[in-house]
Amino acid sequence: MQVLVYDYWKKSSPQHAKDSFEFLLSAPYLQDYLEILFEVDELVEYFCSYCWILREEDVLKELINHQSMPSNLICKAIYYGFGKYLKTENITPDYYFSIWAKIINSEKSLELLLSEPLVGKDVTFQLNLLSNLNAKQWEQYFESSGTTEQNTESFLRIFEKIDSIHCKRLLYRNPNLYQYLRMLVVFDQKDSVPGFLFQLENNLKTIHRWEEYANNKLKEFSPKEEREKSPSRRNVDRLADVLRDGLFIADDSDRLDFIEYLMIREVIVDEQEMDIIRQYVGLADSNSNFETKFSSILYGSLDLPKTKIVGILEDHSSSVNPTLI
């Protein structure tokens, strides 16, 4: 397979790219292939673009977490697409890095944290990777240099430099990170607990409510099976529930956090659904028109006004109590 030929990638499709990833996984010299590929800008552009396009595919997870995949090339793939997709897909840095952190397993997360200086300078990515670690790996991370006490205190002080909204969203998307922070504070030698932890108590309660909501929804369907179905054959009640219940959240910022949390938990199974839900709970671009092309898993390809969609949803009864949100 001509994975090092520019014309091959130029004429490629997502399926061809998927086949290429599978070929690389079986190649005896995976690292050599990738290091050559990353030396050619044109090849890097196509390769990284398909990494993002195929981010929900198991083959990408296998490739990224392969023992022969160098951590520096993982960083290159992630940061190559960082600016591009923030501009073109209207997503936040927090969300972008949370998606990548979901792809990277705990072993590779620890490897990136310990060996890549760029990760150490990027608080957002660093915190998302830390949420992947288990207890033993957290000890390895804090014992990697200096004393555990010094590293723990230095880590806690990071949060004093992050604005409250940014910090809140990191913890919304990584509830385990909050639990680790509370554990670390116990060992902090300071007389007082950092104020931001108290300020986030209510946010933690909200996370638990959202977690319960997501867990209840995930009992009703399999995300993998839903993704494999055509849009018209997916679980209608699932998307209707999310659309309806999302409208009960008054604050736009909290509503956006709720929707993105459900995407990370796979209650919302792909970007197509994410776009639909953002639009119909009032999170679409401010220039969007109520009269729009509504191609959804609920109604198929139809031109429907937003007011009609909301009217239909009022007749749908969600099994989840809105007060959980």
If phi > 0 it is left, if psi is from -120 to 50 it is alpha, else beta; for residue 229 that is: beta
**pLDDT 10s digits, 74-133:** 998 898 888 777 767 667 787 888 889 989 999 999 999 999 988 888 888 888 898 888
**pLDDT 10s digits, 7-63:** 666 777 888 888 888 888 887 878 887 888 788 777 788 888 888 888 889 999 999
Instruction: Report whether pLDDT(174) > 50.
Output: yes
- Mean local confidence (pLDDT), 198-223: 82
Least confident of 168-177, 268-277, 283-292, 304-313: 283-292
- pLDDT score recorded for residue 170: 75
Which among 173, 171, 168, 324 is positioned nearest to 248, based on CA atoms?
324
- pLDDT score recorded for residue 298: 35
Predicted TM-score of the model (pTM): 0.61
**Residue percentage of the chain with pLDDT more than 90:** 12
Least confident of 72-86, 165-179, 189-203: 189-203
